Structure 1
Amino acid sequence: ANQINGSLPEEIDRIIRQALEKDRDLRYQTSTDLKTALKRLKRDLDSGRHAVDNSGIHVSRMPSSPAHEHSIAVLYLENLSGIKEDEYLRDGITEDITTELSKIRRLKTFSRAVVMPYRDKQVTAGQVGKELGASYVLTGSLRRAGNRLRINAQLVDATTDFPVWSERYDREMEDVFAVQDEIASKIAAALQITLSPQEQEALAEKPTENLHAYDLYLRGRNFARRVGRQDMQFALQMYENAVALDPKFAVAHAAIANVCAQYYYYFERQDQWIERVNAAAQRAIATGRDEPEIRCAEAWLDFAQGRYESAVDKIRAALGRDPDIDGGYHLYGRALFESGRYQEVVDIMEDALAHAGENYNTTIPIHNALGAMGKTDALKNYTFREIAIFETQLKKTPEDARVRVLLAGNYAYQGRNEDAQRELDLAMALRPDDTMILYNSACTLCEMDRLSEAMAALKKAWEAGYRNPVWTRQDPDLAQLHGNPEFERLYPSAEASAATASPVSPES
C-alpha cells in the first residue's frame, strides 16, 4: 500500500498482509481484531509512536508519520564512567526519566523499546526525530564517581537540531530522584506546558527515599531476567537488601514476590516459596501503593500453581496500567501458551515485542506458539528476529548463559550447527548445572537430531527441579522425544498422571 501511496505508514502494509493471509490461523480471527489493529495504529500515529523493526525486538520507525506537537524521545544517557557496572544504573535512570515525562498529559513519550536501537549509537536529534516522528529529543550523559553523580541533559528541537534547554546536575547519589523530577519539570517549562496540581504531585512521587535501595533493586532486576537458579538467588538477595534499607519500597517487595513465584515454578515446588510470595505481596500492599508490579507478582503465583485463567486476567489488567512492566508480556505469553491458547500468543506478538525492553524471555512463548501451531514459515522468519535480539543482548552481557543457550537453539533451528554447538558449550561452561540451561540444551540438541543427548540433558533438568509436564509436553522443540519411555516417565501426559498415583522417579 505504501508503495502506491508513499504517505501511508509501513504498518498499514503489515495489517493488510495479515488480513489477506492465506493461512486462516494467522489472519485476524474477527472483525474486532482488525478494528483493534487499526485503532492501535491510529493511536500510535497520533502520539508519534510506530510499528515493528524487523531487526529485532524493538518498535520500528515510519518517517512519513507526522510529529505530535509535544512528542519527545528520551535517548539512553551515555555512560561516561567507563565502568560496565554502571550501565544498569544508566538504563534505570533513563527509563525513570521517560516514566516521569509520561506523567505529563500534554507530553507524548516513546516507549523504551522504541529508543533502545539508538542506545550507544552516534545519532543526531534530527535523525531520531525524522525516523521516529518525534518533535523533541532528550540526550545526555551520566558519570558516577564514588557517591557523586553528574548528569548532563539537553532537550533538542528535532526539526532544527537547536537546543531548547540544557542543564548539568552535579549531585550526591541520593539526589537522583530529585534530578529526575527537576528534568521533567524543566522540560515542561521549556515547552510552555503548565503542570496541573495532579501532575506536580505525580512527579514528586518516588519509588523509594533510599538511593542505595534503588541501586540494589536495579541490580537485582538485571539478574532476575536471566531466570537461572543462581541468578534468581542473586536477585532475591539484592531485593531483600533493598527492602531492609527501605521497608516501604513497594516495587522491591513486589519483585521479591515475583522471584519467589518463579523459583517455585522453575526449581522447587515447595510451600515455603508460596508463603514467601504471599508475605512479600502483602508487604507491598501494606505500603499503600497499588503498583501494577504487585498484580504481576500475584499473576505469577496463579500461573505457577496452574490457575492460568486467573493469571491471564491479572497480568492483562496490570499491563493495561503499565505495558512496560518488566517481564509482564513474558508472563502473559507463558500463561496463554500453557493453557493452549496459541493463537492468542501470536495475536499479542507485536505488542509483546514492542514492550519487551531488555527482557528477551518475552520471545520464548511466541516461538513455541508458532511451532506448536505448525507455522513453519512464520517460525523460520521469526527466528531471524530472535537471533538479532539475542546477539544484541550478548554484546552487552556476554556472561549471560541463558541468552547463549537460547541463541544456540535458534542457530540449530536454522541448521547452523557449528554456531549452535559453540554457544551451547559456552552456556554449559558458564552454568553447567543450571536447571533451565539444561532444559534449553535439550531443546537445542533435539533441533540437531541428537535425541539421546537431548533426553540425558532433559533428565538432568528434571533432577535439578524443572518438573512441569504441561510446558514440556507442549514445547515443539521437544516433540521428537514424545514416546521415549524416559520422557513419558518424567513428564507424563495428563491422562497418564491421572492413571497413576505413584510419584515419578527417573531411572538410574
Structure 2
Amino acid sequence: MKLKKYIAELKRRNLFKVAITYLIVAWIVTQVFSIVLPTYGAPVYFMKILILVLVIGFPVTLVFAWIYRAPLMPTSDITNVDGPHSVISKQESQHILYHNKLVVLPFQNISPDTDSNYFSDGLTEEIIIRLSAIKELDIASRSSCMRYKDTELDNITLGYELNAKYLLQGTVRKLKDDLKISVALIDVQKDTQLWAEIYLGKIADVFDIQEKVSKRIVNSLQIKLSSQEVEALGKRATTNSDAYDANLRAREFLFRYTKSYLRIAIDLFQQAIDLDPKYAAAYAGMAEACALLYETHDKKQKWIDKAEESALKALIYDSTSSEAYSALGLVYYNKNSPKEALIAAEKGIAFDSNNFFAYWVRGRLFRVMDRDAEAIHDFNKALELNGDFHSPYGDLQMAYETLNDQEMLQDTIERAVLFYPKYLLHHPDDSRAHQFYAFTLFRLGRLEEAKTEMQKGVAQNPKDPIIVYNAACFYTLINDKEKAIKSLKTAIDNGFENYDYMRHDPDLNSLKKEPDFIALMEGN
C-alpha cells in the first residue's frame, strides 16, 4: 500500500508528465544536433558533452519538479488508489483554495468490540446532517465520505481527491456506557491541524458532543449563522440515547433483505419507538423495513399497513422527512398505485438529494412505466450515493436488457463482478450478495464459481423463502432441473406464495412444462 501512496504522490506532483516531456525534448534535441553539428564541422566530443548534460539534467529536473511544483494542483488525471477516477483542473484547484468545502471522513472505530462500527458510522452521518444545514459550507455527501473508510491516503491527497478545503477526522471508542471521541479539523491547503479535541462522556452525552463538534467547526471557520441555521445545528432527532442506539443498530440490518435481518430491524425500530414515541427517523425506518418485508418475504396485509402507518407517523413528527417519503413511495409501489408512489419518491428526493433509496424506488417505478432510460439514471444515482446498496446492479441489467443495449449491459455486469468480491469481504454474511454475485458470474460463463457462491448464499439462510427461490431460478438457468424443483418446493414450504409471479418468471421458463412444476402450481 505504501508503494501505491508513493505513486499517487508522484502523480499529484506531476512528475510522470515532467519526466515524459523531458525525455521527448531530449530525444528531439539529440536528433537535431546529430544532423547540425557534423554539417558545421563541430568536434565529435561536442555531441558527447551534449548527451552527458542531458543525462545529468534528467534527475535534476525531476528534483526541481518535486520541490517547486508541489504546491500546485496537477492538471493531468489523478487516479485514487482507494477510490474513483477523477480529473482535477487548474480552475478546480482555485476552487479548492477559495471555497469552503468540508469532508467529514468516516470516524474510525477503535472500540474493543468491532460490533460498534454501526455507532461510529452513525456518528459520522449525524455530523454530516447537522453541517449540511449551513449554506456557507459545502458538505460532501455521506457516500463520498464513506468511500474513504480505512483509506491510507495522506491528508493532502485526500483533500485534492475530494476537492475539499477542510477535512474533519476522528476516532470513536465505545466501551459499555463510556464514550471517548477524538476529533480534528484539517486545513488541506496548509496541511495543518486547525484544532483537535477529545470528548469524554457517557452514551447519553453523544448528542451534546455532536452539537459541540458542529459549533466548534463553525466558530473556527468564522461562519455567521442565520437563526434558522442555529436552530438546525442544535436540532435533535431524539433526546433518548437508547432510542438513538436502537435506531442505528436497526439500520445496520435494514438493507440485507433476508427475512431474519428484516425482522431484527423491525424489532429494533420498535424498541426505538417505544423509547421515544415521537422519533420520526425510527418510524421512517420501520416503514422501510415493513415495506421491504412485505415485498420480498411475507405478503400479509399487516406489513404493508404497518409500513404506511409508520411513514405517515414519521411525517407527523417531521414533515420534511425524506426517508418517510421514500418509504411511502415503496408502500404505494407495492399497492399498485404508481402515480402516488412517484409523487412520494420525488418528494423524498426534493427533501434530500442524497437519499439513495428514493432514487431506487423511483427507478423501479420508471421501469413499470416503460421509462427505462430514466430508470437507468436513477439506478446509477443510487449506486453513486451508496456503493454498498447493490440491488441496482440487478435492476440495471434488466433495464439494459429491455432497451437491448448489449454494450451497457456488459459494462454493468463487469462493474458488478468487480464490486461483489470487495463487498463480500466486508459483509460475508450477506446471502443476497452471494446470490447476485452467482448470477453475475453465470452471465460471464464462470459456472463453477457461480455454483459455489449460490451454495454459500443458501447455506447461510436455508429457510429464507426468497433466498431459496433465487436458488431455484439459478438452477433452472444452468439446466439443473432436479435441484431447481427441489429448491422451489422448499421455497413454497417456507412461505413463498406468489404463484402468479412464478408462473410468469422468465427465469423458470424451462421448468414450466415439467410435471413437478405443473403439480406445484395446481390449485393456486
How does the TM-score come out when normalised to structure 2?
A: 0.77
Query: Does structure 1 retain, via aligned residues, the 8 Å contact 2:109–2:120?
Result: yes
Partner AA of 1:63 in structure 2: I
Match of 2:86 among 50, 56, 61: 61
- Name the CA shift for 1:126/1:479 in 2 (closer, same or farther; >3 Å): farther
Partner of residue 393, structure 2:
363
State how far apart, in whole Å, the 2-side matches of 1:187 and 1:117 are. Answer: 23
Partner of residue 41, structure 2:
none
Query: Does structure 2 retain, via aligned residues, the 8 Å contact 1:329–1:356?
Result: no
Query: Does structure 2 retain, via aligned residues, the 8 Å contact 1:490–1:504?
Result: yes
Secondary structure of the residue that 1:327 maps to in structure 2? Answer: helix
- Deviation at residue 481 of structure 1 after TM alignment: 4.1
State how far apart, in whole Å, the 2-side matches of 1:432 and 1:142 are. Answer: 36
- Deviation at residue 132 of structure 1 after TM alignment: 1.8
State how far apart, in whole Å, the 1-side matches of 2:408 and 2:516 are. Answer: 28
Partner AA of 1:353 in structure 2: L
- Name the CA shift for 1:392/1:127 in 2 (closer, same or farther; >3 Å): same
Partner of residue 104, structure 1:
134
Identity %: 27
Greater relative CO (CA pairs within 8 A, separation 6+): 1
- Deviation at residue 400 of structure 1 after TM alignment: 1.6
Secondary structure of the residue that 1:278 maps to in structure 2? Answer: helix
**2:320 corresponds to 1:290:** yes
Query: Does structure 1 retain, via aligned residues, the 8 Å contact 2:468–2:491?
Result: yes
For residues 113-192 of structure 1, what are the structure 2 equivalents within 5 Å? 113-192=143-222
**2:373 corresponds to 1:351:** no
Query: Does structure 1 retain, via aligned residues, the 8 Å contact 2:512–2:518?
Result: no
Using the TM superposition, name which of 318-327 and 146-155 deviates more: 318-327
Cα displacement string for residues 45-86 of structure 1 (whole angstroms, at most 9, x for unaligned residues): xxxxxxxx9999x86533333434100111111111142211
The total of aligned residue pairs comes to 444
Partner of residue 42, structure 1:
none
Partner AA of 1:426 in structure 2: K
Partner of residue 337, structure 1:
367
- Name the CA shift for 1:134/1:103 in 2 (closer, same or farther; >3 Å): same
Cα displacement string for residues 266-307 of structure 1 (whole angstroms, at most 9, x for unaligned residues): 223222223322332343233254312221221111111122
- Name the CA shift for 1:426/1:483 in 2 (closer, same or farther; >3 Å): closer
Match of 1:244 among 262, 271, 274: 274
Pick the structure with greater CA Rg: 2
State how far apart, in whole Å, the 2-side matches of 1:428 and 1:332 are. Answer: 30
RMSD: 3.1
- Name the CA shift for 1:147/1:408 in 2 (closer, same or farther; >3 Å): same
Partner AA of 2:347 in structure 1: A
Cα displacement string for residues 72-128 of structure 1 (whole angstroms, at most 9, x for unaligned residues): 111111111142211111111111111111111011111122222210122211011
**2:435 corresponds to 1:405:** yes
Q: Give structure 2 stretches of 5+ with no counterpart.
A: 1-78
- Name the CA shift for 1:439/1:329 in 2 (closer, same or farther; >3 Å): farther
**2:304 corresponds to 1:304:** no
Partner of residue 441, structure 1:
471
State how far apart, in whole Å, the 2-side matches of 1:379 and 1:55 are. Answer: 26
- Deviation at residue 336 of structure 1 after TM alignment: 2.5
Partner of residue 69, structure 2:
none
- Name the CA shift for 1:504/1:99 in 2 (closer, same or farther; >3 Å): farther
For residues 370-409 of structure 1, what are the structure 2 equivalents within 5 Å? 370-409=400-439
State how far apart, in whole Å, the 1-side matches of 2:413 and 2:80 are. Answer: 11
Q: Give structure 1 stretches of 5+ with no counterpart.
A: 1-52, 492-502
Match of 1:450 among 480, 491, 503: 480
Query: Does structure 1 retain, via aligned residues, the 8 Å contact 2:441–2:449?
Result: yes
- Name the CA shift for 1:487/1:194 in 2 (closer, same or farther; >3 Å): farther
Secondary structure of the residue that 1:118 maps to in structure 2? Answer: coil
Query: Does structure 2 retain, via aligned residues, the 8 Å contact 1:165–1:187?
Result: no
Query: Does structure 1 retain, via aligned residues, the 8 Å contact 2:379–2:395?
Result: no
Secondary structure of the residue that 2:193 maps to in structure 1? Answer: strand
- Name the CA shift for 1:505/1:85 in 2 (closer, same or farther; >3 Å): farther
Query: Does structure 1 retain, via aligned residues, the 8 Å contact 2:503–2:512?
Result: no
- Deviation at residue 220 of structure 1 after TM alignment: 1.1
Partner AA of 1:371 in structure 2: E
State how far apart, in whole Å, the 1-side matches of 2:505 and 2:138 are. Answer: 40
- Name the CA shift for 1:422/1:144 in 2 (closer, same or farther; >3 Å): same
- Name the CA shift for 1:259/1:505 in 2 (closer, same or farther; >3 Å): farther
State how far apart, in whole Å, the 2-side matches of 1:398 and 1:427 are. Answer: 10
Using the TM superposition, name which of 354-363 and 192-201 deviates more: 354-363
- Deviation at residue 319 of structure 1 after TM alignment: 1.5
State how far apart, in whole Å, the 2-side matches of 1:280 and 1:247 are. Answer: 11
- Deviation at residue 309 of structure 1 after TM alignment: 2.9
Which structure dedicates a bigger proportion of its chain to helix?
Answer: 2
**2:355 corresponds to 1:325:** yes
- Deviation at residue 389 of structure 1 after TM alignment: 2.9
- Deviation at residue 462 of structure 1 after TM alignment: 4.9
Match of 2:294 among 249, 254, 264: 264
Secondary structure of the residue that 1:340 maps to in structure 2? Answer: coil
- Deviation at residue 197 of structure 1 after TM alignment: 1.1
Secondary structure of the residue that 1:348 maps to in structure 2? Answer: helix
- Deviation at residue 488 of structure 1 after TM alignment: 9.1
Partner of residue 45, structure 1:
none
Query: Does structure 2 retain, via aligned residues, the 8 Å contact 1:455–1:487?
Result: yes
Match of 2:305 among 275, 299, 314: 275
Secondary structure of the residue that 1:170 maps to in structure 2? Answer: strand
Secondary structure of the residue that 2:152 maps to in structure 1? Answer: coil
Using the TM superposition, name which of 135-144 and 115-124 deviates more: 115-124
State how far apart, in whole Å, the 1-side matches of 2:163 and 2:350 are. Answer: 24
- Name the CA shift for 1:469/1:121 in 2 (closer, same or farther; >3 Å): farther
Secondary structure of the residue that 2:147 maps to in structure 1? Answer: helix
- Deviation at residue 390 of structure 1 after TM alignment: 2.4
Partner AA of 1:444 in structure 2: F
How does the TM-score come out when normalised to structure 1?
A: 0.79
